[in-house]
Structure 1
């Protein structure tokens, strides 16, 4: 019988690790190609800034963008693309998301519906530096690893 494979994404705004579990009592192991790095954030873009023009009539102005938030959203999309690639290959059955609260929201927003339905739990904590043997105990409320 094929074991149920659960992937856990351990992310923050700059790095992500993907670890996997192959059933109760098996713990977590590093997944192939398990580390992802965010591309560098663009601090000063060439395009115009965006602030409403005070005292102007009408709705003149430009949209404000925060480079840090844009970089986090782009990284979340990169993680979601990697998960979607693995899902298409049949590499896992279930998914756990762990990240600091803001990045967790970015991950939720980036996941396609097919992957959202596979999420069995979430933890709003940064476990990117946790040792493999520590991850199971940190996620014990979500999975019996």
Structure 2
């Protein structure tokens, strides 16, 4: 990996996501709340949580989660190109991470540098910086 590599760092669960820019490897993370503003629809999730179970045991909440994560993948794919990112790091609970991997376009998947199966959507930028450093050390 290059030191000047620009990385998009994403923390997500089934209903919300946050994106950060790491302008250079090991640098500070800058959160970009505006990049995902329109993806966070509280009313859609709230109604889905109260939904009934559909066929094959999938609840309304499961469908809403899959739809949100699919939209997130589409947005990440667009951001990677529009903002000229070199690499992607995904941090999400195991189930959400699995859905993201499944829905990810091939080109996006090829730029996936690291991932971690933990719920860290509320983590601070400083905590995420340490987590990413530890992930990189473990991978080396």
TM-score (norm 1): 0.76
Runs of 4+ in 1 over 6 A off after TM superposition: none
Task: State the partner residue of 1:117.
Answer: 110
Task: State the partner residue of 1:37.
Answer: 40
Deviation digits for residues 30-82 of structure 1, max 9, x if unmatched?
Answer: 1362444254252437xxx54xxxxxxxxxxxx55322221111111111111
Matches within 5 A, 1:5-44: 5-31=6-32, 33-35=34-36, 36-38=39-41, 39-40=44-45, 41-42=47-48, 43-44=50-51
TM-score (norm 2): 0.79
Task: State the partner residue of 1:60.
Answer: none
SS of 2:17's equivalent? strand
SS of 1:33's equivalent? helix
Task: State the partner residue of 1:91.
Answer: 84
Aligned-pair RMSD on alpha carbons?
2.5
Bigger radius of gyration, 1 or 2?
1
**Gaps in structure 1 of 5+ consecutive residues:** 51-62
Task: State the partner residue of 1:69.
Answer: 62
| 1:136 aligned onto 2:129 | yes
> Structure 1: how far apart are the matches of 2:71 and 2:17?
10
| Conservation of the 8 A alpha-carbon contact between 1:19 and 1:34 | no
> Structure 1: how far apart are the matches of 2:81 and 2:13?
24
> Structure 1: how far apart are the matches of 2:22 and 2:83?
15
Q: CA deviation at 1:105?
A: 0.6
Q: CA deviation at 1:141?
A: 2.9
**Gaps in structure 2 of 5+ consecutive residues:** none
| Conservation of the 8 A alpha-carbon contact between 1:120 and 1:142 | no
